[in-house]
Chain A
Amino acid sequence: MKKLLSILLCVLLVCGTFCTALADETKIVFCVNIQPQLPLEFWQSIADRYMAANPDVKVEIIGNPSSNVTLPEYEKNLLATDQFPDIMVMQNPADFVPSGALLPFEDGELDYLVDPEVGKIGGKQYVANYKKQIIGVFYNKDMFAANGIEVPNTWDELVAASDKLLAAGIQPFSLGLKDGWPQGQLANMFAGTDLLAKDPHWGAKRNANEVKFNNPDLVKGMQKYQTICTKYSGDNITGITYTQMLEQFFTGKAAMLPIGSWVNAEVAKGEQDFEVGWFPIPGDENANVVSVFVNEGLSIGAGTKYPEICKDFIHFFFTDKELYGEFLKSEQLFSTTKETVEYDMIPLRKNMEEQIASMQEVEGFESMTGDDAFLPGLKDYFTNKMTQNIAIGADVEAELDAFDAEWEIANEAIEDAQ
């Protein structure tokens, strides 16, 4: 009996020591955005490199478990169940800031970024923006040339080009509603050209209830969007997924693909048998406005026990040029750091950079940042409801009125919470 008791005590002692050692370990949890171009292995490699440089720190990678659960949904679940990570990829801080879930960066802490001011909410920065993406129209250069079509510089020229393609039996645009979000990119482009180009901080005015979604500029933009969807995007827009959109364009079934610069990753594969070009969606007078997404980056959870380590990790991500270069290369992204980061860029990506150098940049409408950002829930409404309804022929003004009504509900919810 004594022997047994002694063994038991020894086991407890060893377990206790082991558990104490585990408890003393500095562990941070990093919630990532797993995508085909940025698989779990890529994010794990970041963690591994950081742990190699900081042996006392353990970085655990977690990510949304299914493509049916978006990253923001997953993060909201984690927050609601007290499992909010220490560091996370953040796409819509405006949804999280009101609940005090994010730790603001101090002034000067993000000085290694080109624009540490972008996307501030209430004067505070909650996201270290790690990429810039632009949205515009990829086009089949060979198809354009074969049909004598020049790159359109105005809306009328775009319509004329589309008519010419239709007359030649070619589907002008590849668009689909089935996945919910891709069609929204085209709507963002028109909102940028017709609305935000005139007033880049229109979003803040909407949030202050000084303007309405149902206004002549946005009505005009959404009517153009509707024309493309209903007239020039085939007869099966509701049944087409994002993957099918890509397939339609890259196999030459459609001449234009209105989407984001992340598609450069597909162009880089070089599987298409034609040359791909790119142009921004043209306005009434010229094609001089480009919508830019700067809404995604790295944030720190307000409840973290190790804020300094989290900040160091984020600094490490941006300043390890090889690591950050690999990240940018995955989707042929635009860097956000002051220091130039070289990576293997395809010619089209370089051409895009040259084209946009002289253009007016406005934020992507649905993903405006900081004080311009949509109120919680409105981004979902814009992509999953409004742009889909307009794409299948709903009355534009009625849809914008409904969007305004939805704004009232979202605003009331915020006022209720205060």
Chain B
Amino acid sequence: MKHKKTHDILLAAPGYLIYTVFMIIPLGLCLFYSFTNWDGISKNYKMIGFKNFVRLFQDASFYNALKVTLIITVITVLIYNVLGVFLAVVLNRKNRACAFAKSAIFVPTVLSSVVVAFIWSYIMQKDGGIINTILGVFGIPPVDFYDTPMHTIAMISVIISWNGLGLFMVIYVATLNTIPQELMEAAEVDGANGVQRFFRITLPLMMPGITINSVLSMAGGLKQYDHVKVITGGGPGGATQTITLLSVEKAFGYNRRGYSSAIILVLFIMIVIVSVIQISITKKREVEY
């Protein structure tokens, strides 16, 4: 028995070690630095209590970044999950057309987010971009995707969704395949139509997948950095800046690593709270058969 216990600990040790080194320690350091005035380069710093947090909650750029982050999160979570479920249900058939469609939707997932962002930057150009060139062929005036921050944020959200939708769809397809066919057949025999079968059987039984996908998509949205960095850099004037972009800017542009740590800590707490709420809601709706 004792030998088994040692064996278990040894097997788990690498996992614990990696988690500690790359997760617990950085998080602890982030917590520590958030109470300091460290500039990120000096050897010396002072403990300044909650000053960084007080300043953070008075900082207009933080609220703007929070707004942008939440908009991106809401749009991407909706697209990933609503469209993801829809595509999974529609394409969950064994024929070549569906297999091709699933592959086509999945392909962007394997592309680097930076590459995707660069590609879409060119596609969206007002002068010479593919979209506006095609519109021009039909005599439609060019669209300026950067004309207002809201348009740009909406467009970025769509690009992020295009980049990641495939993964969420595949998870939903996998979840769909766990639903016993007999249940569907029984419902069909009982006279349930397609819509009724979807809302009464398919959707409730897909809840485990929805739980995973909603948490993953929400956390991904709140952590958004790379697409926005490449497409707008957070501009103009920080109007499309997300929380992570703001944090990096404060750390490396403004030499305020302590303040930047406070931003990240607040983001971490937000993600934890929202995830816990989300999991508790969706878990309750999961059904067993």
Contact = CB atoms under 8 A, between A and B. Distances in A.
Size category of the binding interface on chain B: 35 or more
B43 interface: yes
Contact of A385 (B42, B144, B237): B237
Interface stretch (A33-41, A95-103, A155-163, A325-333): A95-103
B235 to A, nearest CB: 5
B276 interface: no
A73 B255 contact: no
A178 B146 contact: yes
B194 interface: no
Nearest to B37: A416
Contacts of A180: 233, 235
A389 B39 contact: no
B209 interface: no
Given A236-B127, A377-B253, A384 B40 contact: no
B250 to A, nearest CB: 8
A68 B237 contact: no
A394 B253 contact: no
Contact of A417 (B46, B126, B152): B46
B39 A380 contact: no
A378 to B, nearest CB: 8
A211 interface: no
Nearest to A101: B41
Interface string B222-250: 00000001101111111000000000011
A409 B253 CA distance: 14
Nearest to B127: A236
A238 B43 CA distance: 40
A108 B250 CA distance: 37
B254 interface: yes
**A68, A77, A238, A392 interface centre (most CB from chain B within 10 Å):** A238
Nearest to A376: B255
A391 B48 contact: no
Interface residues of A, number: 39
Interface in A338-352: none
B147 interface: yes
A218 interface: no
Interface in B15-60: 37, 39-46, 48, 55
B235 A79 contact: no
B244 to A, nearest CB: 14
A384 B240 CA distance: 12
A244 interface: yes
Contacts of B233: 178-180, 384
A416 B48 CA distance: 8
Interface in B58-111: 61
B45 A417 contact: yes
A233 interface: no
Interface string B144-177: 1111000010000000000000000000000000
B39 A236 contact: no
B23 to A, nearest CB: 19
Contacts of B145: 239
Contact of A410 (B45, B55, B254): B254
A377 B237 contact: no
B211 interface: no
Contacts of A392: 236-237
B198 interface: no
A27 interface: no
Contacts of A244: 125, 127
A388 B61 CA distance: 14
B37 A177 contact: no
B236 A96 contact: no
Contacts of B268: none
A389 B234 CA distance: 12
B234 to A, nearest CB: 7
A9 interface: no
A180 B245 CA distance: 14
Contacts of B127: 236, 244
A92 to B, nearest CB: 10
Nearest to A241: B121
A413 B43 contact: no
A4 interface: no
A201 interface: no
A80 interface: yes
Given A76-B41, A80-B40, A236 B146 contact: yes
Given A380-B254, A410-B254, 8 more contacts: A79-B41, A98-B39, A180-B235, A236-B126, A377-B253, A380-B249, A380-B253, A413-B255
11 contacts: A73-B252, A73-B253, A76-B40, A99-B39, A178-B232, A235-B144, A236-B126, A236-B127, A381-B254, A389-B236, A413-B39
Interface of B: 37, 39-46, 48, 55, 61, 114, 124-127, 144-147, 152, 229-230, 232-238, 249-250, 252-257
Q: Can you list the 4 inter-chain pairs with the closest CB atoms, starting with the nearest?
A: A377-B254, A239-B146, A380-B253, A389-B237
